[in-house]
A = this chain, B = another copy of it.
Amino acid sequence: MRKEHSTNAMNEQFLFGVCELNSAIAVISGRWKSQIVYSVSRGYNRFHLLKRELPNISEQVLGRQLKELETHAILVKKEIAGTVPIGIEYILTNKGLDLVPILESLCNWGKTYEGKEIAACR
């Protein structure tokens, strides 16, 4: 858990106060997060689909990251009506949708300056 009064935590709060940029980056940082947002935006919007897309992630970690994205209101869980057992899909909120083009810019920026890899972004 968070220490709340550690220098680190207080510095984080300080930066959040300096500019929203810092809280924005805090939301999208983290090992799998922006890739999950990106994958969901392309239709991989169920737990097992994401698992298949990101074979190296463990279910526990995937669940945790999804919950954090939900906490930050980037996506919401939705039960798929008429499925038994109840299927769940993840839907990007407006906040999440607005994030996607920014992630695309970041992707292009990365491609421009690192180049050469097979670009899987589109």
Contacts and interface: CB of A to CB of B under 8 A. Distances in A.
A105 B107 contact: no
Copy number of this protein in the oligomer? 2
Interface of A: 7-8, 10-12, 14-25, 27-29, 31-32, 34-35, 38, 54, 56-57, 73, 95, 98-99, 102-114, 117, 119-121
B38 A15 contact: no
A21 B34 contact: yes
A12 B32 CA distance: 9
A20 B56 contact: no
What DSSP secondary structure best describes chain A's contact surface?
A: helix
B35 A103 contact: no
Contacts of A32: 11, 15
Given A15-B31, A19-B35, A73-B113, 14 more contacts: A11-B57, A18-B54, A18-B120, A20-B107, A20-B119, A20-B121, A21-B121, A22-B34, A23-B110, A23-B114, A98-B112, A102-B105, A102-B106, A105-B105
